[in-house]
Amino acid sequence: MLWAPREATQGNIQRIFYLHVPLAIVALGGFVAGGWFGLQHLRTGDRGHDLKSYVAIHMSLIFGVAALITGSIWARGEWGHWWLWDEPTLVSFLIVFLLYATYQPLRFSIEDPERQARYAAVFAVVAGVFVPLNFMAVRTATEKTHPKTLTAGGMPAEVWITFLVGLVAMTLLFVTLWKYEMAAKHTRFEIKRLRRRLTGERGPAAGRSAAPQVTA
Amino acid sequence: MRRTVAALLRKDLTAERRTLESIPAMTLFTVTTFVLFHFGLDRDTLEGDLASGVLWVTLLFAAVLGQNRLFVAEHEQGGFDGFLLAPVDRTALFVAKALALFAFLCVVEVVALPAFAILLLGPGLLDPLPGLILTLLLANAGIATVGTLVAGIAIRTRARDLIGPLLTLPLLVPVILAASEATAPLLAEGGAGGPPARWLAILAIYDLTIGLVAYGVFDFLLED
How would you write the pLDDT of chain A (216 residues) with one tens digit per residue?
555 655 555 566 667 777 888 888 888 889 999 999 999 998 888 888 889 999 999 999 999 999 888 888 887 777 777 777 766 777 788 888 999 998 988 888 888 888 888 899 999 999 988 888 888 777 776 654 455 555 555 567 777 787 788 888 888 888 888 888 888 888 888 888 888 888 876 655 555 666 777 654
Question: Which residues of chain A have a Cβ shorter than 8 Å from any chain B Cβ?
Answer: 42, 95-96, 98-99, 102, 105-106, 109-111, 114-115, 118-119, 121-123, 125-127, 129-130, 133-134, 136-138, 140-141
Residue with the bigger pLDDT between B90 and A202: it is B90
Q: Measured between CA atoms, how close is B16 to chain A, in angstroms?
A: 28
B158 contact residues in A (CB cutoff 8 A): 109-111
> Of B89, B85, B95, B87, whose CA–CA distance to B12 is shortest?
B95
Q: So what's the pLDDT on residue B187?
A: 84
What's the pLDDT band for B144 if we cut at 50, 70, 90? very high
pLDDT at B91 over 80: yes
Phi and psi at residue A7, to the nearest 5° = -75, 135
Please tell me the predicted confidence (pLDDT) of residue A1: 55
DSSP A206: S
Cα-to-chain-centroid distance, residue A54: 11
Kindly list the residues from chain B whose CB atom is less than 8 angstroms away from the CB atom of residue A43: none
pLDDT above 70 for B99: yes
**CA distance to A46, A87, A132, A159, B86, per residue, from A166 (Å):** 34, 23, 23, 10, 56
Q: Do B173 and A96 touch (CB under 8 A)?
A: no
Cα–chain center distance at A76: 23
Alpha-carbon span A24 to A29, nearest angstrom: 9
Residue B66 near residue B101 (C-beta atoms within 8 A): yes
pLDDT at B41 over 70: yes
pLDDT at B210: 92
* Alpha-carbon Rg for chain B in angstroms: 18
CA dist list (Å): A170 to A23, A26, B80 = 7, 7, 46
B190 sits in which H/E element? none
- Name residue A11's beta-bridge partners: A7
Q: How far is B159 from chain A (nearest CA, A)?
A: 6
Give the integer Cα–Cα distance in Å for B132 and B137.
Answer: 9
Amino acid at A27: A
Which segment of B84-88, B106-110, B188-192 scores lowest on mean pLDDT? B188-192
Higher pLDDT, A15 or B111: B111
CA distances from A55 to A119, A155, A190, B128, B205 (A): 16, 35, 17, 49, 31
- pTM score, whole prediction: 0.82
Reduced to 3 states (helix: H, G, I; strand: E, B; else coil), residue A7 is strand
Task: Give yes or no for a contact between A158 and A5, defined as CB atoms under 8 angstroms apart.
Answer: yes
Q: Which residues of B57-76 are buried (b: 16+ CB within 10 A; e: fewer)?
A: ebbbbbbbbbbbbbbebbee
pLDDT of residue A216: 45
Residue B96 has pLDDT above 80, yes or no: yes
Looking at residue B198, what is its pLDDT?
83
Q: Helix B173-183 to helix A113-141 angle, to the nearest 10 degrees? A: 30
* Axis-axis angle for helices A88-101, B160-171 (nearest 10): 160
Look at residues B6, B161, B159, B3 and name the one whose alpha carbon lies nearest to residue B70.
B161
Distance in angstroms (rounded) separating the CA atoms of residues A138 and A96: 11
Residue positions counted in chain B? 224
Question: Does the structure show a pLDDT above 60 at B139?
Answer: yes
The pLDDT, as a whole number, for residue A145 is: 45
If we measure between CA atoms, which residue out of A176, B26, A113 comes closest to residue A121?
A113
Nearest beta carbon to residue B217 from set A42, A138, A141: A42
Q: Is the pLDDT of residue B32 over 60?
A: yes
How confident is residue B112, by pLDDT bands cut at 50, 70 and 90?
A: very high
Residue from A79, A142, A21 nearest B178 by CA: A142
pLDDT of residue B100 exceeding 90? yes
